Structure 1
Amino acid sequence: MDKPIRILQVIGVMNRGGAETMIMNLYRNIDRTKVQFDFVVHTNEVGSFDEEIKALGGRIYHCPRYVIKNHIGYKKWWKKFLSEHSQDYIAVHGHIGSTASIYLSISNSYGLYTIAHSHNASGISTLKDVVYKLLSYNTRNVAKCFFACSQLAGIKRYGRQIVCNNKIFFVLNNAIDTEKYICNDCIKNKKDKELCIDESQIVLGHVGRFDHQKNHQFIIDVFYEYKKHVPSAVLILVGDGDLKNEILEKTNKMNIDDSVIFTGVRSDIPELLNAFDLFIMPSFYEGLPVSVIEAQASGLKCLLSDTITKEVDITGSVEFMSIEKSPKEWAEKIVSMLPYERKNTQQKIIDAGYDIKSTAEWLTDFYLKISENK
């Protein structure tokens, strides 16, 4: 092979979200002498990973964000782009679900292999969910292959018929570099000092963008109740998003703002997890959150909402609870889970198929087989 084949990854913006982190984990670990990634992003913003993508040999193209009223213009952009670049690619790997039926259909017309990838297992609870379902539904009739981060995420997005019966479907694990996440007392002490945390304080933590899905309001309510049991406790919230100011205001009104640390978007997640004592995620829905895999790889116990697939528990250290239960009951559950002896779980993560090296090797082979069959 004189040069690597190129795969076009279609995403919103390459910031430090769950799907984006997963894609970058794969990109760093695939054999880039054989397979290269380029990206179409639905924004003119510069993403957190853009410079690294370019350093790894990837190219970034900026597509207009779809807002229904620009339907014709959106299709024109894709037709023009692929008329100029389709010969560069073997496949289009679509991570944006709402418009996948549009750009994957156009990609089919240019003879490209099309992959739809589901990263969430959302239901229908808001008008936004309804619109998403309507827009994305036809993807099941367009894509040639279907990926999902979990069986549940596949069923929710594509339907049971496709996942279980008559289509090419794969669960692609949200794998991580397990070596980076091994719990380490020295790193913990360093992070505690950096965050002004005393080693005697209990630290609850969450990693995720500030939006409705992640249910930060509930996290704050649970923490407020937990502090009645452990007044010196600290909560660390890692991430950014539209609802961050709302949560800041809430902590201030509840007089717990001096106990809640907002770190913003961070690149040192493995080190930050060392500072946590328990990971909490009461989301309304998820696919299979990579942050929970990372937390388990760091030896943490996790308390999640029971809307999240049980597939995520790969170490036996995850417990599930209904968000219909009160914050007081969640706080009491946390009390019952702490303290515990934190252990090295690396081998469990590897055995469960969540080590990035083996996943990247599988994906490299998958893309190469597509190339061979064209």
Structure 2
Amino acid sequence: MKVLVVGMTKNPGGIETVVMNYVRNADPRRVQFDFLSASPYIAYEDELLERGSRVAHVPLRHEHPIIFRNELKRFMDAHANEYDAIWVHLCSLVNIDFLKSAYSHGIPKRIIHCHNSQNMWGGFRNMIHAFHRGQITKYATDYWTCSEDAVEWFYGDGIKENPKYAYIPNAINPEDVVFDAHKRIEVREAMGWGGKVVLGNVARLHPQKNQSFLLHALAPILTPSSNVILTIVGDGVLRDSLCQEAEALGIADNVQFLGLRDDVHNLYQGMDAFVLPSKFEGVSIAFLEAQSNGLPCLISDTLSDEGIVNDNVTKLPITAGSEGQWLSAVRQLDDSGNRTQHPHVKGSRHDIHQQVETFYARLRC
């Protein structure tokens, strides 16, 4: 089957990782993935091209709305009849133009895949999302979600009764991040982490991910005299303001902003704990990866239990005044470095090898 994938951006974030996990683990004799994006370049594009995928680009809609519509129509006119399915990954229903175009051009299977439980931006976009929510059953044939907690906000009431609704848990390849004691030593030496307690956050620098709360909560143990450091892996709109906050709090020396990295799987090896204070999520890929590595994880209690597979996960509040609970939890972390007792992702519903088989079946039905 030939599948046209929409939703990848230049940022190697959660959606991009989800898609690549399928691309890397699906049988290319059974499914061919091509890509259409309103980004001039998408994460992993070179790898996709090497794997034989076709990658096409249209202009950003908000920058060039007329050219966007014309280029999208031109692509669909030329290629829609080549595809058995379009797989549209979205964090909200603000832009469903790709889905509408697939509908009008007759792509038979039109999958919309939900990846978030709230609108990241709010305001007028909430109104557009709500309007499109009432239209979505006209344009899509299949309704997938990475989190059942996200369903009501994203799709509205009643979608679970639709026979084409499916809960598709986010999944990773556990072997990619399995704990390796020798690699841990190498990473810590290369990163200059020897003798430090390393708290890791892997996420976009965005209000949703709530890194500002983390800086304020952990400031008392991130002082220059401390052996604790916070490593933030990712980039985004808040990078400058977060750097300024770290400076203002006097903890800049013990907070590392590593930006986008292509060695995140190795960085987990050198960390001592994973911290995720997000205001909301679908199911965080980084959280699954951290668990697969066996890292103790501190996450916000606003997140559902769907992505929890290990027994060393602690949920904590992120309300005003709760910073002390995060501080206390960090101080109580086991610093033995023994993570071999905890990785339970392998064989679970979050194992990509399990989900690829479900993917094949859903494509055929």
The equivalent residue for 1:56 is 51
Give the counterpart of 1:83 among 77, 95, 100: 77
Would you say the 8 A contact 1:226–1:332 is kept in 2? no
Give the counterpart of 1:30 among 26, 32, 41: 26
Give the partner amino acid of 1:144: T
Give the counterpart of 2:184 among 176, 182, 188: 188
SS of match in other structure, 2:332: helix
How do 1:178-327 residues align onto structure 2 when only pairs under 5 Å count? Answer: 178-198=174-194, 200-227=195-222, 231-324=226-319, 325-327=321-323
The equivalent residue for 2:111 is 115
Which sits farther off after the overlay, 169-178 or 129-138? 129-138
Q: Distance in 1 between matches of 2:188 and 2:211?
A: 23
Quickly say closer, same or farther: Cα 1:248–1:218, change in 2 above 3 A: same
SS of match in other structure, 1:351: coil
Quickly say closer, same or farther: Cα 1:230–1:352, change in 2 above 3 A: farther
Quickly say closer, same or farther: Cα 1:311–1:340, change in 2 above 3 A: farther
Give the counterpart of 1:17 among 8, 13, 17: 13
The alpha carbon displacement at 1:154 in A equals 2.5
Per-residue CA deviations over 1:16-55 (Å, capped at 9, x if unaligned) read 10110110111011111221111111122x2331100101
Q: Distance in 2 between matches of 1:56 and 1:308?
A: 35
Give yes or no for the alignment of 1:153 onto 2:135: no
The alpha carbon displacement at 1:148 in A equals 1.0
Q: Distance in 1 between matches of 2:202 and 2:339?
A: 21
The alpha carbon displacement at 1:354 in A equals 1.6
The alpha carbon displacement at 1:328 in A equals 2.4
How do 1:88-167 residues align onto structure 2 when only pairs under 5 Å count? Answer: 88-96=82-90, 97-99=92-94, 101-112=96-107, 113-122=109-118, 126-127=122-123, 129-131=125-127, 133-134=129-130, 136-137=132-133, 138-163=135-160, 165-167=161-163
SS of match in other structure, 1:310: coil
The alpha carbon displacement at 1:69 in A equals 8.5
Q: Distance in 2 between matches of 1:308 and 1:332?
A: 20
Would you say the 8 A contact 1:10–1:92 is kept in 2? yes
The alpha carbon displacement at 1:107 in A equals 1.2
Quickly say closer, same or farther: Cα 1:258–1:128, change in 2 above 3 A: farther
The alpha carbon displacement at 1:253 in A equals 2.1
Give the counterpart of 2:338 among 342, 347, 356: 342
The alpha carbon displacement at 1:109 in A equals 2.5
SS of match in other structure, 1:39: strand
Which sits farther off after the overlay, 285-294 or 227-236? 227-236
The alpha carbon displacement at 1:342 in A equals 3.1
Q: Distance in 1 between matches of 2:20 and 2:120?
A: 29
The equivalent residue for 1:43 is 39
Q: Distance in 2 between matches of 1:238 and 1:276?
A: 12
Give the partner amino acid of 1:257: A
Give the counterpart of 1:176 among 172, 179, 188: 172
Per-residue CA deviations over 1:166-213 (Å, capped at 9, x if unaligned) read 241112222111112111221111111111112x32111100111111
The alpha carbon displacement at 1:135 in A equals 5.7
TM-score using structure 2 length: 0.91
Q: Distance in 2 between matches of 1:261 and 1:108?
A: 46
Aligned positions, number: 361
Would you say the 8 A contact 1:66–1:99 is kept in 2? no
Quickly say closer, same or farther: Cα 1:253–1:273, change in 2 above 3 A: same
The equivalent residue for 1:363 is 359
SS of match in other structure, 1:95: strand
Quickly say closer, same or farther: Cα 1:68–1:158, change in 2 above 3 A: farther
Would you say the 8 A contact 1:277–1:300 is kept in 2? yes
User: Which structure shows the bigger proportion of residues in helix conformation?
Assistant: 1
Q: Distance in 1 between matches of 2:213 and 2:248?
A: 15
The alpha carbon displacement at 1:269 in A equals 1.6
Q: Distance in 2 between matches of 1:42 and 1:118?
A: 18
Give the partner amino acid of 1:105: K
Would you say the 8 A contact 1:124–1:130 is kept in 2? no
Per-residue CA deviations over 1:211-235 (Å, capped at 9, x if unaligned) read 1111111111122133379921011
Task: State the identity %.
Answer: 26
Q: Distance in 1 between matches of 2:352 and 2:19?
A: 11
Q: Distance in 2 between matches of 1:140 and 1:322?
A: 36
Gap runs ≥5 in structure 1: none
SS of match in other structure, 1:350: coil
Give the partner amino acid of 1:86: A
Q: Distance in 2 between matches of 1:121 and 1:201?
A: 35
